[in-house]
Amino acid sequence: MTSPAADSRPAEWIAVLDFGSQYTRLIARRIRELGVFSELVHHDVSAGELRERRPAGIVLSGGPRSVKEGEAPRCDPGLLELGVPVLGICYGMQLMAVMLGGEVTRGERREYGPARVKVREPDVLFRDLPEELEVWMSHGDRVARPPEGFAVLAGTDDCPVAAMGDLRRRLFGLQFHPEVVHTPRGREILHRFLYDACGCRGTWSMPDFIHRSVEQIRKRVGSEHVLCGLSGGVDSSVTAALVHRAVGDQLHCVFVDTGLLRAGEAAEVKEVFEKGMGMDLHVVDAAELFFQRLRGVTDPEEKRRIIGATFIDVFSAEARRLGRIRFLAQGTLYPDVIESRSPTGGPSATIKSHHNVGGLPPDLQFELIEPLRDLFKDEVREIGRRLGLPEHIVHRQQHRERLPD
């Protein structure tokens, strides 16, 4: 199966370099909530690659390592010379300081929890904010001396350089975490970085995403047909609704009733998607086959393997029956893509298998359509609402098949 890179991303975007912080995804989500598309990028991305992709700004995330460790992750120094605004958060600020000739030292004690910073320079990041702010700290190292050209923007008694900035080069650092709810004015600080420092206009919204995606899918599919494995869960439901908005009757959905689903789920799927939305839905009642293959099996992992293999057999048979179909639509989400990469290793091309119809036979070679692969789950739910899916589908939690005894 092949899947070309998505081209529904807006031109205005922020690159979030991932150094392994538990908050890195939250940074990306907060930026999107503020109306600007963000993408997590491996920390070893080259300055040349980012120059070609033209981000409006760059964020260096936090991370669990110390910049004083020899094996600590670094980024291309050229990123700081692109003329693009950069915001370093926690580890990202310390890394920026070291790379530009500043000094970072180990603190006498690790600072983890709430703190109050006093704003010394209210320009840009702290414009129109109170002189004293409640923030959330999580660090062991700290910047002892900012690089040349940087001013101290804010500090605490324990961390004199809690924020720094070179206003001329639009390089900024925060020792605290603006992305967490424990920094109440953090969203405003991020907003000022995005709109004042980076000059963003705020082009990321779900209505715009739907419009771009529909046009992209329609153009790519043309007069061909699309197959979609519909489970009734959020991801496949929103995928089906979005593709159906684009190509209508050229979409063919297959729902496999395994006999292991929620009570009444097959009837509900028919009611919502076939009757309510007018989709071409093919319901395959394979409960007897599933129970036959599971009879006598007691090991839970073996049951799951059999369920997966049987699903592929049933889905493949239905795909062959429907005839030549060029495209397969899947509900891969952005977290699936993120989780297939390591912040300290190279990227992986493998997506988590439970989000794909993996293992299809060689004679079923589809081109993939993954319209949701740039979205977080909360964004997918909003897309579902805007496409008219019922609330009980939009908010459905993942269901693990009931394994028969």
Question: How much is the pTM?
Answer: 0.84
Collapse the DSSP code of 163 into the 3-class scheme (helix H, G, I; strand E, B; otherwise coil) and give the result: strand
276-323 pLDDT, tens digit per residue, is 999 999 999 998 999 999 999 999 989 988 988 898 889 888 888 998
176-194 pLDDT, tens digit per residue, is 999 999 999 999 999 999 9
Which segment of 15-19, 58-62, 121-125, 356-360 scores lowest on mean pLDDT?
356-360
Q: Is 179 a catalytic residue?
A: yes
To 10 degrees, what angle do helices 234-247 and 377-386 make? 50
Hey, what domains does the chain have and what are their CATH numbers?
Answer: 13-197 (3.40.50.880), 206-394 (3.40.50.620)
Q: Sorting pLDDT into bands at 50, 70 and 90, what band is 5?
A: very low
> What region does 132 belong to: left with phi over 0, alpha with psi -120 to 50, or beta?
beta
Q: Is 288 a catalytic residue?
A: no
Of the residues 43, 139, 177, 252, which is catalytic? Answer: 177
Tokens 């049987």 locate to: 310
Max CA pair span of the chain: 73
DSSP one-letter string for 254-271: EEEE-S-S-TTHHHHHII
Q: Is the pLDDT of residue 351 over 50?
A: no
Of the residues 179, 265, 318, 370, which is catalytic? Answer: 179
Q: Is 379 a catalytic residue?
A: no
CA distance 371 to 7: 10
Of the residues 75, 90, 198, 200, which is catalytic? Answer: 90
Residue 264 pLDDT = 80
CA distance 188 to 125: 8
